[in-house]
Homo-oligomer: A and B are copies of this chain.
Amino acid sequence: MIIEVVAVGTELLLGQIVNSNAAFLGHQFAENGFDSHYQVVVGDNFDRMVETFRTAIDRADAVVITGGIGPTQDDVTREAIAVATGRKMIRDEEYAVAMRTRWESLGRVMPENNLRQADRPEGADPLPNRAGTAPGLALEHRGTWIFAVPGVPAEMELLITEQVIPRLRRAAGDSVVLVSRVIRTWGRSESQVAEMLDDLFQASVNPSVAFLASAGEIKIRVTAKAETEAGAELLIAPVEAAIRDRLGSTVFGTDRDTIYRVVQAMLIQKGWTIATAESATAGLVSAALTRTPGSSAVVAGGITAYTIDAKAELLGVSRDLMALDGLVSEPTALAMADGARFRFGTDVGVAVTGEAGPDPAETDTGTMVIAVVTPEGRMARTLRLPGDRERVRTYATTAALHLVRLAVAGEWWAP
C-alpha cells in the first residue's frame, strides 16, 4: 500500500514551523510496512489544495492530509476534499448537537464558526478527536482512502495511531512488516564504504541497502519486508553479517547506539576511568564524554589548556618538548594525555591538540592530533579535517571518542 502525505499550511511554506509531522507519519508508515513515494506541502490556497489532493488520490492508495481542519475561515481542507472528489458537503446534525453540548458542558457558548467542523464531504466518516476540538475524517473514494487529521502534532499523533493506522492495516489486509537495521560506522569515508559494499548495494532489493553520512559517521541502512518481524530479521541477518565482516571495527553500533553510550559502556565494563586534556577542542571532548547520564561513574574531569603555560603547569608537558616537536604534534598530544591521567588519577587519558583555524599559527588549519593512553597501550594519530573551525572541532571530538573506543577495545589502528 502506497501512502502519500499532504501537509496543508502556509506557515510551513514560509518556514515558520518545521514539518515534523511528516517525519512522524513517515516513520509510522514505514514501521507498518506501507510505502511512501511523496510528501507534499501546500499553502492555504483552495485551488492548489484541490489540485494537490487530486494528484495524490490518483497516484497513491491512501492520502493522509494534515492541517486545515480547524474552525477558522482559512481552514478549507474539508471543502477542498469535497471538490477534489466531486462530492457535496453535508452537515452532520448529530455531530453539531454533540459539539454544542460539549461547549455548554464547559460553561461556554460555541462560536458559530465551529459548526463548520460538523461539515464533511458526503460519504466521509468523522474521526473523533479526544485531544482537541477539530474532528478528522476518513473517506473511501474509488478505492483510495483519504484521511484528514489536525496539524497540531499531539492531536495528529493520537488520531494517526488510534484510528488511521488500524484502518489502513485493515485496508491493506495486514500482510507485510518492514524492519530496518541501521549499522553505524566511523573511520572510512562514505565513498570508501560504498565501494566496499558495492555488490551488496547493487544486489539489494529485499533487504535494500542505503548509505547515510552525518557528522563524520557513515550509516548503512538495511531494510527488509516480510510477513512477520522474525521473517524480516532473517532476511537482514546475513546482509548485516556480511557488512560487519567487511567493515570490521569501523562498525561501532546499530540503530540508536551513540558513540557516547558505547564508550561509556566499554569503560564501565573494563572498570576504567577517564580524563581529558584539550587544546583546540577546548572542552568538547569532556562535554561529549559526559553527555550520557551515568557518566560520573567513569569521567573524572579534564583540563582545557589553551596556553603554553597551562599545558606546562597544569598538564606537566615539558616546555622543551613543545618547543622541539611543536604544540600540534604527536609527542605533545601523548604528553598531554599522560598529564590528564596523572592529574586526575585515571586509567585512560585522551588529548586533542590542533589547529582549528581559520588563521593557522603553526600548522595547517584542520590538522588535529589525538592521543589516547590506557593501561594497555598508547596511540597518537594526526588527522587532517576539512571544513570551518566549528566543523573541525566537532569532527575532532567525534574522532577522539572513536579513538578511545578503539584503544579501550585493544584495536591500535586509526584512520
Q: Which candidate, A206-214, A230-238, A244-252, A372-380, is the interface stretch facing chain B?
A: A206-214
Inter-chain CA distance A408–B299, complex, in Å, is: 32
Write the A4-37 contact mask toward B (1 if CB under 8 angstroms, else 0): 0000001111111111101111111110000011
Contact across chains for A52 and B38 when beta carbons are under 8 A apart: yes
Contact across chains for A304 and B303 when beta carbons are under 8 A apart: yes
Inter-chain CA distance A296–B327, complex, in Å, is: 14
28 interchain pairs (CB within 8 A)? Answer: A10-B210, A15-B23, A15-B24, A15-B25, A16-B212, A18-B19, A18-B20, A18-B22, A19-B23, A40-B40, A71-B190, A111-B189, A111-B191, A111-B192, A113-B195, A114-B191, A132-B387, A282-B302, A283-B284, A283-B285, A283-B304, A286-B304, A290-B304, A293-B359, A300-B310, A301-B307, A301-B310, A304-B304
User: Is A91 close to B, CB under 8 A?
Assistant: no
Give the chain B neighbours of A133 by CB distance below 8 A.
Answer: 386
Residues of A within 8 A of B (CB): 10-20, 22-30, 36-45, 48, 52, 70-74, 106-107, 111-114, 131-133, 152, 154, 180, 189-192, 194-195, 198, 201-202, 210-214, 221, 276, 278, 281-287, 289-291, 293, 295-296, 299-307, 309-310, 314, 343-345, 357-359, 384, 386-391, 393
Inter-chain CA distance A322–B54, complex, in Å, is: 60
In whole Å, how far is A46's beta carbon from the nearest beta carbon of chain B?
12
Contact across chains for A14 and B36 when beta carbons are under 8 A apart: yes
Contact across chains for A26 and B38 when beta carbons are under 8 A apart: no
What copy number does this chain have within its complex?
2
Contact across chains for B14 and A30 when beta carbons are under 8 A apart: yes
Contact across chains for B305 and A190 when beta carbons are under 8 A apart: no
Give the chain B neighbours of A41 by CB distance below 8 A.
Answer: 22, 38-40
Specify which of B71, B111, B221, B393 is in contact with A287 (CB 8 Å cutoff).
Answer: B393
